[in-house]
Amino acid sequence: MSTVYDYSIRDAYGKEVSLSAFKGKVLVIVNTATGCGFTPQYEPLEKMYEAYHDKGLEIIDIPCNQFGGQAPGSDEEIHEFCTLNYDTKFDQFKKSDVNGANELPLYTFLKSQKGFAGFDASNKLTPILEDLLGKADPDYAKKPDIKWNFTKFIIDRSGNVAARFEPTADMKDVEAFAVSLL
């Protein structure tokens, strides 16, 4: 059976990075955007990184412009935005597709391991997302595709996909789950 360690992604400079470099770590793999209603999630992600990095937590930030064109800048511009506005210190990788013909093979694997399980009903953005996605595809909820920016996959220390959190999930729940694997 495959693990995330079988995949590589490109860093912001285009250099291929094997995820096997993160063996033994708990990973949070997240597709991000700089102009999204969920962009403020960079703040709790950075706090989580600072609190638990020394205990083995890594955040894999993969900017993506597939959802509302909300990550239009270059890799350098995105990095500058994140460091200036959220003082991010975790690794940011090359802007990439997470759905469709050009999606990263890593995302094909992640989605095969944990499909879409619905949005958090208590999040104020849930009705907006459900309406938007439902108009585009009435069967969207039955498909494993990434639905929006800031979908998070948590990977255990053995490289297995342990959980998927949609962008509407409470970041405290994301953190608690990641910490439980440390």
Is the pLDDT at 127 greater than 90? The verdict is yes
Residue 83: per-residue pLDDT: 93
Is the pLDDT at 53 greater than 80? The verdict is yes
CATH top-level class of 4-180? alpha beta
Residue 42: per-residue pLDDT: 97
Is the pLDDT at 1 greater than 90? The verdict is no
- 22 confidence band (pLDDT: 50, 70, 90): very high
Q: Give the catalytic positions in this structure.
A: 36
What residues does each domain of the chain span? 4-180
Read off the pLDDT of residues 69-107 as tens digits, 9 standing for 90 and up.
999 999 999 999 999 999 999 999 999 999 999 999 999
The 3-state secondary structure of the chain reads: CCCHHHCEEEECCCCEEEHHHHCCCEEEEEEECCCCCCHHHHHHHHHHHHHHHHHCEEEEEEECCCCCCCCCCCHHHHHHHHHHHHCCCCCEECCCECCCCCECHHHHHHHHHCCCCCCCCCCCCHHHHHHHHHHHCCCHHHCCCCCCCCCEEEECCCCCEEEEECCCCCHHHHHHHHHHCC
Residue 120: per-residue pLDDT: 96
